[in-house]
Structure 1
Amino acid sequence: MTTTERRPGGAAPTLEEVAREAGVSRATASRAINGGSRVSPRAQAAVAAAVRTLGYTPNPAARSLMTRRTDSVAVVVPEPDERVFSDPFFSLTLRSVHRVLDEHGLQLVLLLARRGTASEQTLRYLSGRPVDGALITSHHRDDGLAGRLADLGLPCVFGGRPWDDTDRVSWVDVDQVAGGRMAAEALLQRGRRVLATVTGPEDMTAAADRLTGWRAALGEAGVAADRVAVGDFTEVGGEAAARELLARHPDVDGVFAASDLMAAGVLKVLAELGRRVPEDVAVVGFDDLGGAETTTPTLTTVHNPVAAMAEEATRMLLRQIGGEGPASPVRVVMPTRLVRRESC
């Protein structure tokens, strides 16, 4: 059959026809199409020309068998779906990951892994290698994901420092401790001395590290650091924590909320109580993902480079998948900065 002949019934061209058109063996044509080695530049060019001439499209299933690749990456989020679809942290993370994957023609697979039984189901799913690698974000102390994924040998990168097995997996994080310190120093510089904080969940390293930085700065300044209420990184959780704090410590004149969503809840409670911000109580948040500019007053906050972290984590994972990364796990800690607005 010549290249100008129409195939019966309009059937798609086959790999054998590509090989014949290029003047190479079927095995050589397959390696050239699937990015394999041991293909000469001349043969590679001939196969590429044959593919264009015949309009050949590789069979994804056959390609997967040949390369042992699925061309997909999982994003694992051990959080309830209602939080994932309402928190700007997750939407920005997913957009940033997708942007990098799309540049490489790869598919994003979202796995919402509730803790407990569902987390075990996710691990069983990943053990079958349905994806080429996994990105994990918003993980918790009892997830055990770092060690389990390291045991599986599945390429993986964590967004945020995991609790355990930090020497077995790669991760990208912001300098959370420095961020907590910046928040404390911003309030201290404004002359506030009766300070309180609304932390994130105690089983997350981001919350623990921000609290560590906060306490260190207050300790150095000789200011009490025991006015603490635990939130859940949501606006409702911040509101509940603020009510608890202000009931116990009505004389508070400065609050650090460990996320901007919780800070919005704090501002709501202060407004209800008739406490002016920043005149009576100064407030600092953490994230700077857009919402800080829409609160009343606008929110002073610690910038969290979520997009940059997600993109870097994705590139690190792709290097792992391609066998291009270093032999040992990589750890990247990105700097942060204070963004001053009206609330402090």
Structure 2
Amino acid sequence: MASAAGVSRATASRAINGGNRVSPAARTAVETAVRDLGYRPNLAARTLVTRRTDSIAVVVPEPDERVFADPFFARTLSPVNRVLAERDLQLVLLLARPGQDDDRLLRYLGRSHVDGVLVVSHHRSDGLSDRLAALHIHAAFVGRPWTCADKLSFVDTDNVEGGRLAAQALLERGCTRIGTVAGPADMTASLDRLAGWREATAAAGLELDAVAQGDFTEEGGARATAALLESHPDLDGLFVASDLMAAGALKVLAQSGRRVPEDVAVVGYDDLGVAERTSPPLTTVSNPIGELATRATRMLLESVSGGEPATPMRLIVTPTLVHRQSA
């Protein structure tokens, strides 16, 4: 093939593998020869030389049923795949139930089957932040990692500010007995949103005891709301830490005869498509997950292109409140 292009084998190799030290004329000659000869590179051999697999793993430590039911994941994976496709890279999706598949997952990642790792929906129990930092591989998180935040790159929303915005919206409406359905206690986003709600509610001199734990599913939101109404029937405001949980909360409120927003105002979190379809449509905090996923992927690829894992980078995006009828 090098002979057909009239260049050296080294120049042909650089042109095929995307090297920069190739003149436009030589690159055109090599591309023409590739087409004429029907050449296909030996990917296994190229991997041995370049130490690249041209693939990126997206690790989602969640049960399969949640990944395929929650719009959060579709809104995350789509922009990741788009960015990778622009670079002619392959997305490898790795699902792992928290605490069950960790060793198998880490063995796979540690054997250099992929060039980098993007982690989405990180839990404390999965141990991924500690273990990926120890492996010294290219990694980035969508959402602040539990540990090693000084050693790992990540992109996140300011979830504390988001919780404050939600509580403030209810306070400005005149609510005086505000509860919250928080997310899972083993996720940083959940704790940050809860912290923001507590700060704003406490600053207004209101009680902080109306808290129930959800799991970021519609069923979990319904269960937590039912428990809250049983123990705090005087609630007139409710912050729910995800729109999917808020959809379940609205159903429970309707079943209990409470009107939204007249009797209980409700604010959700995410604005990923669910909020417009609830009855009534949800006031919610916008979580720009598409932007976060895009930036985290580009951050990861910048590290990969540099060879050795780069100095950790982090980006925090400020959320906004989207007003609709529920509050």
- For the aligned pair, the TM-score class normalised by the smaller chain equals over 0.9
Cα RMSD of the aligned pairs, angstroms, is: 1.6
Whole-Å separation in 1 of the counterparts to 2:215 and 2:56: 28
Q: Which residue of 2 aligns with 1:247?
A: 230
Per the TM alignment, residue 78 of structure 1 is displaced from its structure 2 partner at its CA by: 0.6
- Could you tell me how far apart the structure 2 residues matched to 1:283 and 1:177 are? 18
TM-score, normalization by structure 2: 0.96
Amino acid at match of 1:230: Q
Give distance in 2, aligned partners of 1:37 and 1:284. Answer: 52
Task: Give the percent of matched residue pairs that are identical in Structure 1 and Structure 2.
Answer: 63
1:105 Cα deviation after fit:
1.1
Is it true that 1:118 corresponds to 2:118 in the alignment? no
Over 3 Å counting, the alpha-carbon distance change for 1:341 and 1:325 in structure 2 is farther
CA distance in 2, matches of 1:39, 1:65: 22
CA distance in 2, matches of 1:324, 1:258: 39
Describe the superposition over 1:51-83 as per-residue Cα deviations: whole angstroms up to 9, x where unpaired: 233232222222222211111111101110000
1:304 is matched with which residue: 279, 284, 287? 287
1:37, CA displacement in angstroms? 5.7
Alpha-carbon distance in structure 2 between the residues aligned to 1:44 and 1:288: 47
Alignment match, 2:266: 283
d(CA) in 2 for partners of 1:44, 1:277:
65
Cα distance in 2 for residues equivalent to 1:169 and 1:64:
26
**Where does residue 37 of structure 2 map in the other structure?**
54
SS at match of 1:85: helix
Q: Report the equivalent of 1:93.
A: 76
- Return 5+ residue gaps in structure 1 as ranges: 1-17
Q: Deviations over 1:228-283 (max 9, x none)?
A: 00000000000000011000000000000000011111101110010000000000
Q: 2:135 matched to 1:142? A: no
> Which residue number corresponds to residue 199 of structure 1?
182
SS in 2 for 1:291: coil
Residue 132 of structure 1 corresponds to 115
C-alpha contact (below 8 Å) 1:304/1:336 kept by paired residues: yes
1:30-109 mapped onto 2 (5 Å cutoff): 30-36=13-19, 39=22, 42-109=25-92
Distance 2:78 2:16 in 1: 30
Structure 2: how far apart are the matches of 1:327 and 1:20? Answer: 39
Distance 1:206 1:93 in 2: 15
Structure 1 counterpart of 2:135: 152
* Residue matched to 1:268: 251
Separation (CA, whole Å) in 2 of partners of 1:219 and 1:56: 68
Give 1:113 deviation, angstroms: 1.4
Distance 1:154 1:274 in 2: 54
Mapped to 1, the partners of 2:20 and 2:166 lie a distance apart of 53
Q: Relative to structure 1, is the Cα distance of residues 38 and 289 closer, same or farther in structure 2, using a 3 angstrom cutoff?
A: closer
2:216 matched residue in structure 1: 233
Does structure 2 retain, via aligned residues, the 8 Å contact 1:76–1:134? yes
Task: Report deviation, 1:212.
Answer: 0.6
Report Cα offsets for 1:199-252 as digits up to 9, x if no partner: 000010000000011001011111112210000000000000001100000000
Letter aligned with residue 177 of structure 1 = V
Counterpart-to-counterpart distance in 2, 1:116 and 1:41:
52
Match for 1:90: what amino acid?
A: F
Is the CA contact (8 Å cut-off) linking 1:97 and 1:314 kept in structure 2?
yes
**Once the two structures are superposed, what CA deviation does each residue of 1:131-161 show, in whole Å capped at 9, x if it has no partner?**
1111101111122211211221211100000
Partner of 1:9: none
Partner of 2:317: 334
Whether the 8 Å contact between 2:14 and 2:20 is mirrored in structure 1 is yes
Structure 1 stretches of at least 4 aligned residues deviating more than 4 Å after TM superposition: 37-42
Q: 8 Å contact 1:146–1:168 — kept in the other structure?
A: no
> Is the contact between residue 319 and residue 325 of structure 1 (CA under 8 Å) also seen in structure 2?
no
Q: Distance in 2 between matches of 1:170 and 1:72?
A: 19
Query: How many Å apart are 1:40 and its aligned residue?
Result: 5.0
